[in-house]
Chains A and B, each alone.
Chain A
Amino acid sequence: MMHDQDPPHPDVFPLGFVDLLARILSDPSALDQLQSQPEEFFDEFHLTPAERQAVLALDQHSLNAQANILFEKRWHEIKKLIPLTLQNSDQNLKDAFDFYATKFWPTDYRRHLADAFKFLQFLEQNEIAIPHKSEKRNLKRALK
């Protein structure tokens, strides 16, 4: 997963409950693993018995709903920033976004701008769609 800052070494800060929750909310494959092989999944994290029980008690529907909120919020903001790119493409770019969004999470405080710019780069590099020149230029300028 790409991100702008390196995470701390796991030996310094053991992965805990918040790390587990963030992982399953940001990575659909992690959520699948939790549901199919929970004990193997837990091995990577240092959890108290109460935390482990709290995770096991969560239902898939609520986890999926919370994860969807995260991704839908990003898509909602990106749509506002690159409407011409989306309009000019002969494809529905939501599927491309759904794939891209699991691979990159912006960290800049201008996160929606960074997200939109990275998505345009993803579209271009993977020859999915051509970014609208003014939108790409404006985002690049705004992120300087």
Chain B
Amino acid sequence: MRRIGVGYRRELHDWLIGKPAGVQSLEITAEHFFSLDAAAQQVLNTLSELYPTFVHGLGLSLGTPGPLRQDHLEKFATVADWANAEWVSEHVSFTRSSQVDLGHLNPILYGPDSLEILIEHVLEVAEKCHRKLILENVTSSIRFESAMSETDFLNQLCERAQCGLLLDVTNLFINSQNHHFDPVKWLYEIAPTNIVQLHVVGYSKIGDTYHDHHAVPVQDELLDLIRAVDHYADIQAVTLERDERLDRIDEIELDLARLAAVEQAQATDDA
């Protein structure tokens, strides 16, 4: 069953505690709970009793060569336990080097060396968390001339590291527009069994460039892309990933309803 849900944000807490219709799952951002104090544990316990949850990391920097930061990994695993997460997720990217922490998801070069680094890190995180790890595609202004295509890299990574994909439909669409490729063709190059969860949120556009500001409702083109994914893969969850204008519950509820309608149509087709 495809469970529709949202990314948990403190501004949405009171609304979510009320169990609004249309929210069937919650994604927890791990770093938001790294205080690991009694209050954090209480919130996570409460949320996990109300919703199936998934824990999403931002700062493990799986694409950075060398050992993972163990203090960060420990906290990540603890949040996953406290949230009783069904799975955990991170990104195919790096956020830090040995010299600087950029605090933002940056692209990696798709090749044999980076593949081995990712595989090693994925296996370590999955073992530490005792849960499946799924990996998200990121947006980037940079498009490297790589030895491997992005889709080939992701397929090999999933197969060899026994992980799955968190397909960010918005990120895929943004990259396809900024770098001029067909997102559906990209989708069909991914093995469908790899796709576990989707992220979606409205994109922003400044001039001719598309951005992921996580601030506006989902556009029709993104729903079309979700329909294409729905026909292709057996997805377990769809998460609306809103970070800005969180006072607009009306917009969030409308987006959830539209996502539910897409899933209902697919369920009817499947029957």
Chains A and B form a bound pair: yes
A residues at B contact (CB < 8 Å): 1, 3, 7-8, 13, 15-19, 21-23, 25-26, 48, 50-51, 53-54, 57-58, 62-63, 65-66, 69-70, 73-74, 105-107, 109-111
Q: Which residues of A contact B94 (CB under 8 A)?
A: 18, 21-22
Identify which of A1, A17, A51 gathers the most chain B CB atoms within 10 Å of its CB: A17
Known: A21-B106, A62-B141, A63-B141. 19 other contacts (CB 8 A): A7-B98, A18-B63, A18-B64, A18-B94, A21-B94, A22-B96, A23-B99, A23-B100, A25-B102, A48-B113, A51-B109, A53-B145, A57-B144, A63-B142, A65-B209, A66-B142, A70-B103, A109-B75, A111-B101
Q: How far is the CB of A12 from chain B (nearest CB, A)?
A: 9
List, in ascending order, chain B residues with CB within 8 A of A54's CB: 109, 144-146
Q: Verify B103–A65 contact, CB threshold 8 A.
A: no
CB-CB under 8 A from B140, the residues of chain A are 66
Q: A21-B106, A50-B111 are in contact. Are A69 and B101 (CB under 8 A)?
A: no
- Interface class of chain B by DSSP: loop
What residues of B have a CB within 8 angstroms of the CB of A58 in the complex?
Answer: 142, 144
Cβ–Cβ contact B141 & A105, under 8 A? no
User: Considering the chains assembled together, what is the distance between the CA atoms of A25 and B105 in angstroms?
Assistant: 12
Chain A CB within 8 A of B188 CB: no
Q: Is the CB of A69 within 8 A of B97?
A: no
Residues of A within 8 A of B108 (CB): 18
B147: chain A residues at CB < 8 Å are 50
B106 x A25 contact (CB < 8 A): yes
B94 and chain A: residue at smallest CB distance: A18
Flag whether B31 is at the interface (Cβ < 8 A).
Answer: yes
Q: In the complex, what's the smallest C-beta–C-beta distance from B76 to chain A, in angstroms?
A: 10
Which residues on B are within 8 Å of A, measured CB to CB?
31, 34, 59, 63-66, 72, 75, 94, 96-104, 106, 108-109, 111, 113, 140-147, 209
Residues of A within 8 A of B34 (CB): 109-110
Cα A110 to Cα B37 in complex, Å, equals 14
> Which of A3, A66, A105 contacts B106, CB < 8 Å?
A66
Taking CB as reference atom, which chain A residue is nearest B66?
Answer: A13
For B59, B145, B209, the residue with the greatest tally of chain A CB atoms inside 10 Å of its CB is B145
B66 proximity list for chain A (CB < 8 A): 8, 13
Question: Counting chain A CB atoms within 10 Å of each CB, which of B99, B101, B111, B113 scores highest?
Answer: B99
Assembly CA distance A71 to B141 (angstroms)? 14
Q: Which 3 A-B pairs have the closest CB atoms?
A: A22-B97, A65-B141, A66-B141
Name 12 interchain pairs, CB-CB below 8 A, sorted by A.
A13-B98, A15-B98, A21-B94, A23-B99, A50-B109, A58-B142, A58-B144, A65-B141, A70-B103, A73-B103, A109-B31, A109-B59
- Which of A22, A26, A58 counts the most chain B CB atoms within 10 A? A22
Which residues of chain B have C-beta atoms less than 8 A from A70's C-beta? 102-104
Q: Which residues of B contact A18 (CB under 8 A)?
A: 63-65, 94, 97, 108
Q: Are A19 and B99 in contact, CB atoms less than 8 angstroms apart?
A: yes
Most buried by A among B31, B75, B109, B209: B109
Are B98 and A105 interface neighbours, CB within 8 A?
no
Partner of B142, one of A23, A62, A73, A111: A62
Residues of B close to A57: CB separation below 8 A: 144-145
List, in ascending order, chain A residues with CB within 8 A of B103's CB: 70, 73-74, 105-106, 111
